[in-house]
Every structure is written in C-alpha cells, then in structure tokens.
Chains A and B, each alone.
Chain A
Amino acid sequence: MQDTIERHTISAVVDNESGVLARVIGLFSGRGYNIDSLTVSEVDRDNGISRINIVTTGTPMIIEQIKAQLDRLVPVHRVADLTVQGPHIERELALLKVRSSGEKRVEALRIADIFKARAVDATDRSFVFEITGSASKIDAFADLMRPLGLVDMSRTGVAAISRGPDEI
C-alpha cells in the first residue's frame, strides 16, 4: 500500500444529541487523526439530525480507518467520503478585516471585486469583506489582502454536498 497523504472530505449524518461532536473530536484526537476543517450544524430539526463535514488528511489506510471508526459511533447514521464518491461541491465562508488607507484601501476594494467578495462593514479606516468559495479561493484572497492591511479573519470551515440528484 502506498503511503501517499491524501486529502478527503467526509460527511457524517448524526443524531443531534449532546456529546455527539465531542465523540467525533475525541475520536480524532484520541487516535491521532488530522482535522483540517470541521463544521457541524443541524439540518433536519424535525428528526433531530445534524450533518458534520470533516476535511482530513492521511494515508489511504488511515482514511479507511477514520470512516470505519466514525461509522461505528452509535449516534452516527451514515458516513460518506465525498472525495471518493465523485463530483461534489465544497464551500466556505470567510470574513476578513482589512485596515488600511490611501492606495492600499483602493487596491483592497479592487481585488475584492475580482473575487466577488462583498464589503459588509466599512469605516474610514477599515473594511470587513465577506467571501464565499472553495477553501483555496479564500486562501488566495487572504494572501492578496495580507500586504493590504489584513488584520483579522474568521472562517466557517468547509460545508460540502455531492453533485447530482442523490443524497449526501
């Protein structure tokens, strides 16, 4: 088995009960797995169902283990590896605070426009930009904003869903 490190996006459908997120996080920390990103939110209030999206890295054997270990947690209904299943969409939202003046301020607005980021707060010395996209798009945007006065950033982590008519 090759030991190449792969990045996988895994979604788990779980009961929205107390402790379920702690179980998932404890599983990753206890067994030494990586978490690049983790998001969780209730998606079906009537049935008390939440969806957890995890971006993780590891060898193929580790990724298999992660899925099997997640699947055996009692409140977990279903685990899907979106990376393996095929085409899927990953989106993340970020808020970036840029503090600058003069040319830099104008340049920040110009780049935000190219990335289709919106200014959601403005003062005479700062902007807060809202940007949605893949994690790499947000990385690229942040890299460009850094020399233009980026002082703070808040990211949601990855939400993911498969393309096409099927669930997950």
Chain B
Amino acid sequence: MSNNAMTGAEILIKALTDQGVDTIFGYPGGAVLPIYDALFKQNSIRHILVRQEGGAVHAAEGYARSTGKPGVVLVTSGPGATNAVTGLTDALMDSIPIVCLTGQVATHMIGNDAFQECDTTGITRPCTKHNYLVRDAADLARVVHEGFYVATNGRPGPVVIDIPKDIQINTADYTPPEKVRHKTYRPRVKGDLEKIREAVEMIANAERPIFYTGGGIINAGPKASSLLTQFVRMTGYPITNTLMGLGGYPASDRQYLGMLGMHGSYEANWAMHDCDVMICIGARFDDRVTGRLDAFSPKSKKIHIDIDPSSINKNIRVDLPIIGDAAHVLEDMIRIWKAGARQVDPARIEPWWRQIDIWRARNSFAYEQTDKLIKPQRAVEALYEKIKDRDPYITTEVGQHQMWAAQLFKFESPNRWMTSGGLGTMGYGLPAAMGAQIAHPDKLVVDIAGEASIMMNIQEMSTLAQYKLPVKIFILNNQWMGMVRQWQELMHGKRYSESYVESLPDFVKLAESFGAVGLKAETPDEMDSLIDEMIAVDRPVIADVRVDPTENVYPMVPSGAAHNEMILGNEAGAEAPQATDQGLALV
C-alpha cells in the first residue's frame, strides 16, 4: 500500500465524484456513519436527506428519469436496506439506472444476526440487475465503477453495493475508473445490419403498419426520440406509445394515436389489432398491452427491436427480432431507408388512415361535461392547458389519476414523464417529483396524485420543506382507491370491499403543517383559479381537487379480454364486453 492510501469511505466519495455524481438521496444510520463523516468533509456531492429510505429510491428514480443520469442512493444496513426494496424492484421493472449503496455490519459480524443486520445481497438479488458485497477496501473503487457501468449499460437497472462498516474504515489505494473494465458484461448496442435491411423492406411494403414504442426509446436518450420522430414522419405511419414510452414521440402530432393498452385509446388498440406490420421498439409486450395473448394482433408480422435478448419472444412470438440500442438501430434504419431512396406511396396506406380516423372519431377519452362536479379528466386537461408552455415535469402516483394523466396530458419530449409503470407503486409520485425538482430546480414539477397514493409517502413533504422544493402535488381527490373501486364496480358486483378511504386528512392543514401551501377546489371554477394560484406560488403546494367520486377510466380492456375488446364510456358510445371468469384471476 502506498502513502496515497485512503479510507473506504473516502474511496467511495472519490469514486462517486469520478463517476460524475452530484447528488445522493439518503438517510444515515449506524452502519454508514463513516460514509456520512466523509460526506461531511467534502463539497462536491450534495446529499438530500429523505424521510424514509423508500422515498430515497423513488427520488433517485425521478432524478434518473428526468436527467438520463444514474440516480444514487445511500442507506444504512437492515431496515435501511429493506425499506429500499420496493424502490429497487420498481427501478428493475421500469429499467431505471440506480446505484444503491447500503451499509452493512462489519465483515466479522456478518451472519451472526447482529443489530440491524440483514442479508442485503440475498434480499436484493431478485430485485436488482446486479449486486455486490464488498469484502476488501481494495476492491471498493473497482466495484463502484463496475456498478455504475452495469447500472447504465445495456438495459439499465438498479445495482446494490453492500459495504460493511469495517470496509468503510479500512485503508487502501484508489483505483480510477479508466482502469476498470468489466470482465464479461458487454451488451450489444449495434443491431444486425442484415436484419435491419429486412426490417426496412417489411416496413416499406406495409399496408397497415404501426409503430409501437416504449421506455426503451426514453432510455436510449433524447437522440433516440428525435431519430424515432424523424423515421416515423418519413414513413407517414401511425405510432402509439406505451405508458413508459410517453414523450418518446410528440403527442400533439397527427400520426400519434395516443397510449395503447388496458386504458389506451380505441384507435391505438384497434390499429395494433388490425395492423399487418408492427414495429415494436423498446417495448416488451407487457400484459397491460397485449390483453389475452392468443387474440393479440393476429394478422401482423412483428418486428421487435430491444436491447435485452430476454425480452424477445417472452410473451409474444415475433417474426423479426433485432437486438440493439434503439438509437443505434433507428440510425441504421434511417440510413438504409434513405440509401434505398424509399418512398411510401400515400395511396397505399390511405385506406389504413381512413380506418384509423373512423376509430379515432369515437373519441374514446371523452367524458361527460358538467358545471357542478369537477370531472377528474377535466382537471387533468385544465392543468395541461395552463402549464403546457412551461415545459413541465410530471410524475404520478398509481391508479385512476395515473391513467387519466397518461391519456390526457400530452408529452412532446422525453424525460418529462415519470410514473411507476411495471411495478405500479403507490407512493411513487411525491418522492419522484422531489428527485426531478432537485435535478431541475427552475422547472415546474407536478405530481398528479390520488388521495390514497399520496398518503403512502406523505412524510416526504418534510423533505420538500427542508430543501425548499416547489413541487406541486395535484391531488384528484375522489375519496376512494379509485382503481380498486372501479374493478369492484365492474367485476365484483359493486361490493366495495375496503376501497373507501375514511378519515382522510385535511390536506390544506396538512400542507400548512409542513410549511407548504394548501389549496382546495370543489367546483370547476374554483379549480381553474386553484391551478393559477398553484403555479404562481414558489413553494411546495398540495392542491386538494375534489373530483367526481364515481368516475371510471375508459376505455378499459377487461381482464381476460382481447386488446380490441374495450369497455367504452357513455360519451364514446358505450360498449361493454364482459370480463371472463378466467380473466377474474388476472390482475
């Protein structure tokens, strides 16, 4: 060991700094005190103190999704690590790059049921992309650099690095990042050119094509979104986005059919069903998209572009898989398309567009207009109209409000929409908004929330107060766990078992107790002025918007139904296919 030896905690801080980390979300405890001591003595990394470790991971997710950089979390051993598990699982399901540093009891204590000990690597193995237990301070720098590489390359995901307390204190030499190269992990980013040529051929000759793109476009960076937009416009074909993919293509564009899936638009689901060529990029044929598998898009040839080979043929068998990064493959596609001087004959796809326009005319997101009650859809639309020119960052909790936000808020660019897609984690939106606001201090960040979800991480109001983060929490308060109530109404004989939230807090007083601004609206007029006031305040706001408690999210593909069998609301000319008995067993 040379004279340059540093303690493990110092090595950690240096490694994080060399990885370009400027912010950590964390919570101290016994097993990470040496790291907090090292944090105290430096100025390059800002630590954001959350109020519960679960909030730290979601905040890091919000930071990561709004910036494209990995989010970093620091928590203590035992309960610190176990509280992080939901967030880690969330990040795994949604492919979000997170590096989570957990303290651990000293190496000689491991396995002895020491105070605040848990088997962190064992517990987090199935909910991380990879994890490490560091057993020697000399390995720490390498592991940290490797961890960042694994979290951010290929299909991104969460990485846990478990660091025993003695490793934080022991001294070793520092290994800089340029000396670290992962032994084996080399995800493929360039697609097979022969297959890309074949895909271009299929795309060029399609008569009823559709682009179906997801979170992979967002994860491949803003360049992928602009390449996608360019390519889709060159072809003149329709495109639909998944919940995770919103913002990957400008939502105001005529070629955009809206979100697809269980609560997707009528035109998007029908176009997916009737298409002859499906171009799936960075999406994974999730059950919320496919509905009943044997009835999914029966007439189409399917092209699937994905960076993760295990996404290919997992749920749906595809005709042409291409492994690679969305941006790289799109770049090659556009080049090959141009080199072949391809032109789509508008007359060939004109009948397809005519059909799509017929579906579109159903206006499947329509809802009843009334002056008395605030319709939740109207609340989202009013919010959108008033803030769309401010380039806002939107997060959500999970449930009906999330679906209305996804349906009605139009995203023109990537990294502006953060929602828990795969795991469906209630309580995601507030901490995620916190993380987005930390990353973009001068931007408008709004958590579109429900009154049930917001209670799940309400303690983070205290974090907003501490760091003066002017996050706006826009609660669509229907006094129900709305989505649970909707399923009980439609599928369980209106037996509303435990879905009514009694004893809700007074959200105005709650806001005030945390030093935030509380606002409340009970009529559409009040709501309009509430939104104006909310935007004007440079402080955190909880807006309690009392909405129609009986409203349902439509369209809805009932469980067990095919993806073109949608329940529609009255305003879209009600249709009501029934959930099947088999479907009742599905989530």
B184 & A30 in contact (Cβ 8 Å cutoff): no
Q: Is B91 an interface residue (CB 8 A)?
A: no
Q: Is A92 an interface residue (CB 8 A)?
A: no
**B301 CB to nearest chain A CB (Å):** 15
State A76–B133 Cα separation when bound (angstroms).
Answer: 18
What residues of B have a CB within 8 angstroms of the CB of A77 in the complex? 183-184
> For this complex, into which size category does the number of interface residues on chain B fall?
20 to 34
State A71–B188 Cα separation when bound (angstroms).
Answer: 12
Point out the residue from A30, A71, A76 that lies within 8 Å of B126, measured CB to CB: A30
Stretch of A60-68, A113-121, A129-137, A155-163 contacting B (4+ beta carbons < 8 Å): A60-68
> For this complex, into which size category does the number of interface residues on chain A fall?
10 to 19
A26 & B125 in contact (Cβ 8 Å cutoff): yes
Q: Is A110 an interface residue (CB 8 A)?
A: no
What residues of A have a CB within 8 angstroms of the CB of B317 in the complex? 1, 61
Closest to B149 in A: A74
Q: Is B310 an interface residue (CB 8 A)?
A: yes
Point out the residue from B125, B182, B310 that lies within 8 Å of A19, measured CB to CB: B125
State A133–B375 Cα separation when bound (angstroms).
Answer: 72
Closest to B317 in A: A1
CB-CB contacts below 8 Å: A1-30 with B = 1, 15, 18-19, 22-23, 26, 30
By secondary structure, the B interface counts as loop
Q: Is A75 an interface residue (CB 8 A)?
A: yes
State A1–B129 Cα separation when bound (angstroms).
Answer: 30
What residues of A have a CB within 8 angstroms of the CB of B131 in the complex? 19
A22 & B312 in contact (Cβ 8 Å cutoff): no
What residues of B have a CB within 8 angstroms of the CB of A85 in the complex? none
**A49 CB to nearest chain B CB (Å):** 10
Closest to B146 in A: A74
B310 & A75 in contact (Cβ 8 Å cutoff): no
Q: Is A72 an interface residue (CB 8 A)?
A: yes
| B 123-166 binary contact with A (CB < 8 Å = 1; else 0) | 00110011101000000000000000010001100000000000
Contacts A74-B150, A74-B184, A76-B184; A65 near B313 (Cβ below 8 A): yes
What residues of A have a CB within 8 angstroms of the CB of B184 in the complex? 15, 74-77
Q: Is A101 an interface residue (CB 8 A)?
A: no
Q: Is B314 an interface residue (CB 8 A)?
A: yes
| B 469-498 binary contact with A (CB < 8 Å = 1; else 0) | 000000000000000000000000000000
A64 & B150 in contact (Cβ 8 Å cutoff): no
What residues of A have a CB within 8 angstroms of the CB of B125 in the complex? 19, 22-23, 26
CB-CB contacts below 8 Å: A62-93 with B = 64-65, 68-69, 71-72, 74-77
What residues of B have a CB within 8 angstroms of the CB of A26 in the complex? 125-126
Point out the residue from A18, A23, A69 that lies within 8 Å of B310, measured CB to CB: A69
State A33–B130 Cα separation when bound (angstroms).
Answer: 20
| B 293-321 binary contact with A (CB < 8 Å = 1; else 0) | 00000000000000011101110010000
What residues of B have a CB within 8 angstroms of the CB of A18 in the complex? 133
A71 & B129 in contact (Cβ 8 Å cutoff): no
Contacts A15-B184, A23-B125, A61-B317; A72 near B310 (Cβ below 8 A): yes
Closest to A13 in B: B184
B183 & A15 in contact (Cβ 8 Å cutoff): yes
Q: Is B185 an interface residue (CB 8 A)?
A: yes
Most buried by B among A15, A61, A74: A74
What residues of B have a CB within 8 angstroms of the CB of A61 in the complex? 313, 317
Q: Is B505 an interface residue (CB 8 A)?
A: no
Given A22-B122, A69-B310, 11 more pairs with CB closer than 8 A = A15-B183, A15-B184, A19-B131, A22-B125, A23-B125, A65-B310, A65-B314, A68-B309, A71-B309, A74-B130, A74-B182
14 residue pairs from A and B, CB less than 8 Å apart = A1-B317, A19-B131, A23-B125, A26-B125, A30-B126, A65-B314, A68-B310, A69-B310, A72-B154, A72-B308, A74-B129, A74-B182, A75-B184, A77-B183
